[in-house]
A and B are shown apart, each in its own frame.
Chain A
Amino acid sequence: MTLIVYALVVRQTFRRFLTYRAAILGAVLANTVFGAVKAFIVTAVWRQRSVIGGYDLPDILTYTFVAQALIGPMSLLTNNLDIPARVRSGDIGTDLFRPVDFQGYWLSVDLGRAAFALLGRSLVPFAVGALLFRLRVPADPRVWAAFAVALTLGVLVSFSVRYLAAMSAFWLLDEKGVTGFVNMMTTFLGGLTVPLILFPGWLGEVARALPWASVVLVPVNVFLGKLSGAALAGAYAFEAAWAVALLALGRLVTARARQRVVVQGG
């Protein structure tokens, strides 16, 4: 029953983003162009050796364009949550007295944003990549379905990390240091700059165990059909465990933030 509210928030956020179509164009162009540049680089690297970290050339090209396509939905470069701005302006008061769950509300907002980004920002970079390079696009609808699940779980993880960073605004006058640092971690440990499969030794082990592995690496591995059966279930469990743990931490932080809220203005 109450889920209707959150579903409606998702839909309305989607519609809010529709108003800003023009701004999307720039992002689409940048994501596509950088995708092509990265594709040339990995092609040059993979010329030296045909398989690196279990990926052949079509694998890594696919990884590259899926990662570019996920910049928007997974919010790999920015925090994208309005919480800090609303804390600063005092508008957060409105969000705090609504009869809805604060974290649930912002999760719904983010899901609406991610859904919009998936349609508005992801399709073109990937389609252009698929036209210009030899990508491994799954033909089996079951792989697509499995990919959708991994993607959804990934968005939950991405949200829960960014939510924690954004909530720091309740404690700090300027949260940009925290959100900026977390954005950098997301970009790097999410495997946007350098694919996680290239991280050497223990660094790779650690990186692949951190929550950010859920935002690009796991969905791509599902997309490439590298995970099935028990391995697929394990990957889901990995994403879900991080999502649950971080969302629970977020709830704790939310309760603390309520305690100490000092909404700006006398």
Chain B
Amino acid sequence: MLIEAENLSKTYTLRKKTGRLKRERTTVEAVRDLNLSVAEGELLGYIGPNGAGKSTSIKMFTGILSPSGGSLRVAGLEPIRERKQLARQIGVVFGQRTTLWWDLPLRDSFALLHRMYAIPDERYAENLKRYVDLLGLDDLLDTPVRQLSLGQRMRGDLTAALLHDPSILYLDEPTIGLDVTSKAVVREFLAELNRERGTTIVLTTHDLDDIERLCRRVVVIDHGTVAYDGRLAALRARIATDRTLIVDLARPAAPVEVPNATVTRVDGPRQWLAFPADANAAELIAAVASRYEVLDVSIRETDIEDVIRELYSS
């Protein structure tokens, strides 16, 4: 196991002013009894609502934060005690901030990392060429990071995180703010990295397209602990969310009454009908059309977003 967390927890103590001089101590359990094992070569979706404890747990995995309880081993190391050895095993990419040096050209940032991670010269040259070719950074190497577009910067950050051949790559919102093309480039690159090099990837994102396209296993974190851990397909099946039929009637009407469906929303002539995922949509449309004058219909399939929302609220 590359990441092995047992009953991992992290509590913060906050002091809040309650009076002129009085201060109240409150403890916040950001992570509690988190159990997780990640095997080599996995591409794991690590998701959850804001403030659920995702970042806190990742900060513990990377050796930035010390756990308050439980045990944790990453790549066979104890993150805090063996932080420097661990650092050579991991790569980190944040979508919202860069790990590169703002006013240095990409080339110089990479050169600094070459020494920082003590990467052997040959391997460095090989990796640099590989990622520069793969991510199309050739013409950008002499551009200072501050002049790069978000998509270009992200490609630079990905390269920076991989030059030392980390066995684990943590990605925090790697596609945030990117346009469709750049998103596709990043996703394709990650899939290939995982497939070809066997790099274990832990992906945190709010973009569920990322998860759908990349991850077979999903871990949902909520209230500081694991709320779901399993395959994406099983997650979707576990919460049998209805499909939705959207009908545009010729004129506004009272909620449509048909078997096997219930109206969830009415907006003028448009109505939303929820129906079970395994029911026959054609029959339902026929039933509606036989009783009302229908101008248009469309069906919305359950997407992962609904599933997650359902899971969070339960």
Contacts and interface: CB of A to CB of B under 8 A. Distances in A.
Contacts of A8: 111-112, 115
B292 interface: no
A15 B108 contact: yes
Contact of A15 (B94, B99, B104): B104
Interface of A: 1-2, 4-5, 8-9, 12, 15-16, 19-20, 89-91, 93-94, 96-100, 258-259, 261-263, 265-266
Q: By CB atoms of chain A within 10 A, which of B65, B83, B101 has the most? A: B65
10 contacts: A8-B111, A12-B112, A15-B108, A16-B104, A91-B97, A93-B59, A97-B62, A97-B87, A100-B116, A263-B55
B88 interface: yes
A12 B101 contact: yes
B186 interface: no
B103 A99 contact: no
Contacts of B59: 93, 263
Given A99-B84, A263-B59, A19 B50 contact: no
B117 A99 contact: yes
Interface string B113-153: 00111100000000000000000000000001000000000
A96 B64 contact: yes
B54 interface: yes
B312 interface: no
Given A12-B111, A93-B94, A97-B92, 17 more contacts: A1-B118, A8-B112, A9-B112, A15-B108, A89-B97, A94-B94, A94-B97, A97-B62, A97-B63, A97-B64, A97-B87, A99-B117, A100-B84, A259-B66, A266-B54, A266-B55, A266-B56
B101 A265 contact: no
B90 interface: yes
A4 B111 CA distance: 12
Contacts of A99: 83-85, 87-88, 116-118
A265 B55 contact: yes
B70 interface: no
A189 to B, nearest CB: 33
B101 A98 contact: no
Contacts of B69: none
B104 A5 contact: no
A98 B59 CA distance: 13
A97 B117 CA distance: 11
B290 to A, nearest CB: 51
B62 A266 contact: no
A263 B62 CA distance: 13
A34 B101 CA distance: 34
B276 interface: no
Contacts of B65: 261, 263
A120 B188 CA distance: 46
Closest 3 CB pairs of A and B: A99-B87, A266-B51, A5-B115
B147 to A, nearest CB: 11
Contacts of B118: 1-2, 99
Contacts of B101: 12, 16
A57 B135 CA distance: 65
A90 B65 CA distance: 13
